[in-house]
Each structure stands twice: as structure tokens, then as C-alpha cells.
């Protein structure tokens, strides 16, 4: 039987395409890692069930996590084609970038990191298990409607904003590295080529239509203005997002060297999107990095303006992580068979509801609506306000003459949001983002709410 080489969660199907900087051949090479077999334990925690994919640097297994009592995607180092020290460096990079969100809030569009050890005899990373098909397969199979494509474009713009705000540059955004949930939400996988923004980007890639010229080796910088001084980084992610958006709206493939100086306008290739959104994509895809948006935060602000949506920033003081939210989005926990929220809360106790609360922008400012069974607290200098949904009040029962908690309240500046209870351990803050004032773009009615 031929080995399974399908792409899987946590694994890049073309990992070997990354061009690696030269290594010192005089360095002592590590011995190859032993590959465990089905049924064997890993790290005294994970039991391997079945192999679901493999690539140049890793093999991914569906495994049972005894600590969490759930199935996970367990990524194990594969040294059959690369030296262990080189593979270990990939795992170190992924733990360093994706691992910073362990125990922190994050959008549902970033695969959930559960555990990892790049220094183990066989390096491993445990991730959320996602059996859904990769984006490229969904596109090729014709199973991606226009509303889902638009949602993918908007969500991935917000995802680049989240990563860049929190010090991570992704570098390899393309359809093979995105899974689409049944709800239409995209999930970004494979952080083994990502880097933190405080480190230089040394990795280079073979050309594909989603890579900017500054990420390709041997490109003549004289061909494009701005390349001489361009260092790969957030602007590279902006380009990749723009090319992916262009591809989703048009189905057209344009290699980096064929992109016009002004960028790509989807409408010129038969794409159906608003003029405002097309202009954002065009600027994002300019060959000159200095003509693009500076980072995902600036690009996401432009996207929100184009589709007529307000944005806020939800921050978690305990971790320092901030997650952008759009009017109408929700926060909660991931649960099998339940709609996923936009902001995923860390919740080992599982008292947070899958859709725990909703954020709404009103004429008076930002408001939060509790949609949970256990309630949400909003704290100010004057004390705590308890919010509880109608379902939560019904579950609690009749409290006699006590006035029932309201489901919705305006969130004052500097207020604290505490899902479940102030002592439950999740403390958040919501603040308006200083984006350009939306003007009611013509995508507003069919974009992020679908």
C-alpha cells in the first residue's frame, strides 16, 4: 500500500518547497528521531490512533489526548528526508510562534495550539483536530459559494491583523494552508515557516502565485522599485492575503513577476466584489512592498472600511494578547457540533458557552450581549453588572422579587469583561479601534454576517 501523502491539519503539503539557508556541514548531525507506531503513547499523554497525513518535515496523527479527553492532531517530526536538527528547528519555530497563544484568546481562524516540545527525542506539537477539507480542495471541487469566499477573505484579513498585532508574521498564506469549517469559517494551519516580528526573516520559498518577490531567492531587485530595501515581513503577508482574495473572487492565477505595478483589481478579471474592496486588494498586491499596507492591521482596517463595519479590540491583560472583533461577532469556546465563535476563550473548566456573548456597535458605543447559560459580568469603578441571556434566566429559575439580570449593556471605556464570574479567571477588556469612519460600503449587507 502506498503511504498516505494527503495534507492534514498542522502539516504543509509542500513543506519541502521552502528554500533553506545553507548549513555548516561540519556541525554534528543529530541521529534520526524514531517514529512511533499506532497505539503507542507519546509524552505519556497522547495515544496514536491513525496517520492522517505526511510531508517533508512531519507526520500527522489523529491521537487521543488523555489530559483533555479529546482527539487532537499530533504532529511528529519526520527525519526520513531531512536531518533531525533541521526538522527540530522547524518545530522550534512553530512552538515559538503558535505556542505564544496557548492559554490566550485567539480567533477561531487560527488553529488551536494545545501542547508541544521541540526538544523531545521525537519533537511533537498537538493541535486542534480538524477533519475538514483544505481550501484548495474545496475550490477545485466547486464546493465554495460566493458568500463563503467573501467570508474567507474578510476573516483572513482579520487573522493577519491578529497575528501582526501579537508579533507573528505568517509568510506562507495559500489555499493549501487553510481549512474551511462547515460553517464557512477559515482556519489557518501550519506555522512551521512563521516567524516572530522581532527576528529577521531568513527563509525563502520557491515561487507560487501567492508569494511576493521579496520572499523569492535570486530575484533581481532592480526589476521592481522598493525591493532593494524591502525586508520580508508583515507587508509580505499583506501581499499573500491580497493574492488569495484576488484568486477567491476571480479564479485567476497570476505569478508574482506578472503582477502589474498598480496591483491586481479583481474586477478586471471578472471578479464580483465592491469597488471599495477591489481597491484594497489592488493596493495589497502591488509588487513594490512600500506601496502596500504596512501590515495586516492597516489592511484589515481598510477592509472593514470597505464593507462598512466597525471594529474593536478585545484584549486579555493576563497574556497581553489582543484580538480584533467586528460588529456582530461573538466570543465563546470551541465545542464539537456547536457554532464556533470568532474569539475563542481559554476555558479548561468548560463553563463558557460556545456562543457566550455578542459584540454590537450602537449609536452610543460598543455593547455586549450575553448569549450564555452562565452569564457575563461587566466591571467598572462602580461595581459589577451581571448580564444573563433569556436561556440563562430560564435555567436559573424564578428568583422571586429580584429583578432579572439584563442581557445587554453598553461597555464603558476601561471596563472589564468577565465571562461566567469575576473569579472564574478570564478577564478581558474591550476598546474601540481608531479606524477610518466606515461609510457603509456596498458589501455591508452580505459580507461578515453570512
Distance CA 74, CA 406 (A): 43
In a domain, residue 4? The reply is no
Backbone φ and ψ for 394, nearest 5 degrees, come out as: -65, -40
Half-sphere exposure of 353 (CA within 13 A, CB side): 19
334 and 243, same structural domain? no
- pLDDT over 90, % of the chain: 73
Average pLDDT over residues 350-375: 97
Q: Where are the alpha helices (DSSP H) in 289-416?
A: 296-307, 390-396
How far is Cα of residue 397 from the mean position of the Cα atoms in its chain? 39
**Bridge partners (DSSP) listed for residue 380:** 383
pLDDT at 401 > cutoff 60:
no
CA 395 to chain centroid, in Å, comes to: 34
Is pLDDT above 70 for 14?
no
Q: Do 19 and 62 fall within a single domain?
A: yes
Whether residue 439 lies inside any domain: the answer is no
What element of type H or E holds 431?
strand 428-432
> Could you tell me if residue 121 is inside a domain?
yes
Helices 234-250, 296-307: crossing angle, 10 deg rounding: 40
- Could you report the per-residue pLDDT of 170-208, keeping only the tens digit for each? 999 999 999 998 888 999 999 999 999 999 999 999 999
- Whether residues 188 and 156 share a domain: the answer is yes
For residue 437, tell me if it sits in a domain.
no
Per-residue pLDDT tens digits for 38-80: 888 999 999 999 999 887 789 999 999 999 999 999 999 998 8
Of 94, 128, 162, the residue that ends a domain is 128
The reply to whether 147 and 220 lie within a common domain is: yes
Q: What is the mean pLDDT of the chain?
A: 88
In a domain, 450, yes or no: no
Question: Is 169 a domain residue?
Answer: yes
Q: Show which of 76, 107, 128 is a domain's final residue.
A: 128
- 86 within domain boundaries: yes
Q: 147: domain CATH number? A: 1.10.510.10
Residues 283 and 341 in one domain: no
Residue 442 lies in a domain: no
- Domain extent for 70: 15-128
Q: Cβ-count burial of 363 within 10 angstroms (0-12 exposed, 13-18 middle, 19+ buried)?
A: exposed
Clarify whether residues 181 and 235 are in a common domain: yes
- Output the pTM of the full model: 0.88
What does the pLDDT average to over 77-94?
Answer: 90
Number of domains forming the structure of the chain: 3
Amino acid at each position: 500500500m502506498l503511504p498516505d501523502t494527503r495534507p492534514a491539519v498542522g502539516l504543509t503539503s509542500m513543506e519541502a518547497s521552502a528554500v533553506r539557508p545553507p548549513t555548516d556541514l561540519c556541525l554534528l548531525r543529530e541521529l534520526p528521531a524514531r517514529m512511533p507506531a499506532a497505539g503507542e503513547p507519546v509524552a505519556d499523554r497522547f495515544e496514536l490512533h491513525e496517520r492522517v497525513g505526511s510531508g517533508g518535515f512531519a507526520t500527522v496523527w489523529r491521537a487521543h489526548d488523555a489530559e483533555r479527553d479529546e482527539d487532537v492532531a499530533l504532529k511528529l517530526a519526520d527525519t526520513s528526508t531531512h536531518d533531525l536538527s533541521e526538522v527540530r528547528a522547524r518545530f522550534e519555530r512553530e512552538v515559538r510562534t503558535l505556542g505564544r497563544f496557548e492559554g490566550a484568546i485567539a480567533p477561531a481562524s487560527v488553529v488551536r495550539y494545545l501542547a508541544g516540545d521541540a526538544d523531545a527525542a521525537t519533537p511533537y506539537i498537538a493541535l486542534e483536530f480538524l477533519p475538514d477539507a483544505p481550501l484548495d480542495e474545496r475550490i477545485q471541487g466547486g464546493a465554495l459559494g460566493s458568500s463563503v469566499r467573501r467570508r474567507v477573505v474578510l476573516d483572513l484579513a482579520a487573522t493577519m491583523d491578529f497575528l501582526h498585532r501579537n508579533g507573528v508574521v505568517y509568510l506562507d498564506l495559500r489555499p493549501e494552508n487553510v481549512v474551511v469549517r462547515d460553517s464557512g469559517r477559515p482556519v489557518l494551519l501550519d506555522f512551521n515557516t512563521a516567524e516572530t516580528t522581532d527576528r529577521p526573516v531568513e527563509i525563502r520559498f520557491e515561487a507560487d502565485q501567492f508569494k511576493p518577490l521579496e520572499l523569492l531567492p535570486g530575484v533581481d531587485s532592480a526589476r521592481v522599485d522598493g525591493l532593494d530595501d524591502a525586508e520580508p515581513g508583515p507587508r509580505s503577508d499583506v501581499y499573500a492575503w491580497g493574492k488569495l482574495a484576488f484568486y477567491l473572487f476571480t479564479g485567476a492565477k497570476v505569478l508574482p513577476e506578472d503582477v502589474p505595478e498598480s496591483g491586481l483589481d479583481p474586477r478586471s478579471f471578472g471578479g464580483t466584489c465592491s469597488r471599495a474592496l477591489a481597491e484594497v486588494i489592488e493596493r495589497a498586491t502591488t509588487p513594490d512592498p512600500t506601496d502596500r499596507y504596512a501590515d495586516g492591521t492597516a489592511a484589515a482596517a481598510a477592509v472593514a472600511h470597505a464593507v462598512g463595519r466597525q471594529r474593536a479590540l478585545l484584549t486579555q491583560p493576563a497574556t497581553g494578547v489582543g484580538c480584533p472583533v467586528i460588529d456582530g461577532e461573538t466570543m465563546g469556546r470551541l465545542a464539537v457540533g456547536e457554532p464556533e465563535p470568532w474569539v475563542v476563550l481559554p476555558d479548561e473548566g468548560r463553563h463558557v458557552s460556545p456562543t457566550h456573548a455578542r459584540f454590537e456597535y450602537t449609536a452610543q458605543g460598543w455593547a455586549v450581549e450575553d448569549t450564555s447559560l452562565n452569564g457575563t459580568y461587566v466591571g467598572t469603578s462602580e461595581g459589577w453588572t451581571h448580564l444573563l441571556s433569556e436561556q440563562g434566566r430560564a435555567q436559573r429559575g424564578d428568583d422571586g422579587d429580584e429583578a432579572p439580570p439584563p442581557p445587554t449593556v453598553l461597555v464603558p471605556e476601561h471596563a472589564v469583561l468577565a465571562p461566567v464570574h469575576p473569579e472564574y479567571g478570564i478577564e478581558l477588556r474591550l476598546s474601540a479601534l481608531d479606524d477610518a469612519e466606515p461609510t457603509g460600503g456596498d458589501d455591508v449587507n452580505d459580507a461578515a454576517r453570512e
